[in-house]
A and B are shown apart, each in its own frame.
Chain A
Amino acid sequence: MLLISALITGLGLGSMYGLLALGFYVTYAVSNTVNFAQGSTMMLGAVLAFTFGVTLGWPMWIAVALAIILCAVWGVIVERVAVNPFVVRGSNSWLMATVALGIILENVVLFTFGKDPRGMPPSVLTTEAFYVADIKIQPLQIVIPVTGLAIAVCMQYLSTRTKYGKALLAVVQNADAARLMGINVTVAILAAFALSGLFAGIAGVLIAPLFTISASMGTLFGIKAFAVAILGGITNPWGVVVAGLIYGLAEASITALLGSTYTQIVTFSLVILALALRPHGLFGQAAVKKV
């Protein structure tokens, strides 16, 4: 019985990992590149929402919407500054460049937002609560997993049922052929990075009321989300979200059953074990590389 509240926690955190991991998925699916600093984009979402909504006192819905949009813009900037210049030269240095850009972002936030962690004021999402068989549930604990799953559904629909989605996926298979078919490859890749930033921004504003807002809040999240993306098989949107939920649930139940000392040791060991057994992730398929 008591385990159930731990599992609700796991579901919430798991959907966050999944949401960030979807950001890895969407750019990888289109361009075979990722923004390694997804965690800092998430932090940007939370920091901007706090700044607009609390420091400047704007209505919260405007603050949240603007924060998410600016995260999408940040995604585009990351692609232009840290990914594209290296990819066009056939270099893999975008790996390091995105990490570096993330660190720069964190330090700019330290400098402007300050080093003092801040807390979102209480809202109905956390002050109201309902009980299911003695288990207390806050609305936010429902909103988070529902948002994560809804976005996964949208991605699945977008990529398999619409011409935009098919165009995006065509880019990664053969960029030149896609270009000949009238697909604007540059725009497709930028759109993917914008979506990636958008997802991280959504994760940021969702986690803000649960967490303390500071420049370093996204670092560990970003690492876990990347583990989740790999675990899920980075090529499958459902896979990464489900892997996120599995990771979150495993983390929470290990803490609840074995104690917090074992959490990181056991979860990351499980990640290694899972990848050893299924090198392409739990839900991924081996990519065929033609030479």
Chain B
Amino acid sequence: MREIKLFLGPQHPGMHGNTSVHMYVEGDIIKKSYLLPGMLHRGFEKGMEQRTWINNIALIPRICVVEPDINEMVFAMGVETLAGIEVPERAHYIRMIILELARISIHLMAYGGIGGPTGHYTLMYHAQADRNRILEIFEKITGHRIYHQYIVPGGVRKDLPVGIEDEINEFLDDLASRYLEIRDLGIENPTIRKRLVDHILLPSEVVWELGVTGVGMRSATNKPYDLRKVLPYARYDQIDFEVPMADYSDAECRVDLKLQEVVQCIGIIKQCLAKMPEGPVRAKMDGNALKFRVPKGQVYAAVESSRGEFGYYIVSDGGTKPYRVAVRGASFPQGLLGVEKYLPGTRLDDAALWFDTMGVCSPEIDR
């Protein structure tokens, strides 16, 4: 059969953002494929070297469009390690609330995303409607819907507004009450199940070879490999939660784990709201913020994002600007090497589902 060259994306309902896959197909089986990134390359790593530590707070959330808070968190963690800043107790809990709300919103968005390639757009609308309510909560807390610039070195920018706890609780209760309905719409739907069950496998050897982390790793290895458990940051060690895992990683399993994580997130936020102590939310830092200097050093800070380990490697030479910041996008391994080695063999119509369930996010690959 004749081999045909095809492009999937950047304009395609199943593609996630501004990236394209170059593939050779025979019939509808992909024979060879590779990712063509670069359409969203904005030169963040260079840009960060040219801005002061404080100015960078406004720049970094833009690296990952849908989940900006992890960028703020790793940057803050790195700077705090280098400069030896103690974060107030209340700020840790506020950070966890923000990070978990963001995790729910992006899991919902990814879950809605399977509506595109499977032709069930209703799912996407429902998921986005719930995400929108989270964005409204973010707007009340931080003043911004998407790029919050809220988690800063030393704590968070300002305290939670009065009465937001009730609104968060109300939203979480509502989401939890509709959990089965949300499952019914997508993962329990027989036509979607046919596309997911036993398709797009991710064996554990492949996980180790590529360096896949996050849901992909936990679904294949059946171990609680989650940085929140393995290497707790903020105050995750004082929160009671479980890490969903499995030993057979097909597309359905990975989507299922994401939904189970949403349930855990709801529990985490509720515990944070109940346990949160009163007090200051930002460590006192004297002097002119624009002349803030970070002691010399090289540090790697990482958090568990919705797609896996997300980290910054921060180098300071003692100046007012970072000497070098390198970004580890959580989906870099599966997005580049995974597409080259493990997308071939998949059916063409499963390619978009492959991207969705593997959790490929092009902004963090391009940077």
Q: Do A and B come from one complex?
A: no
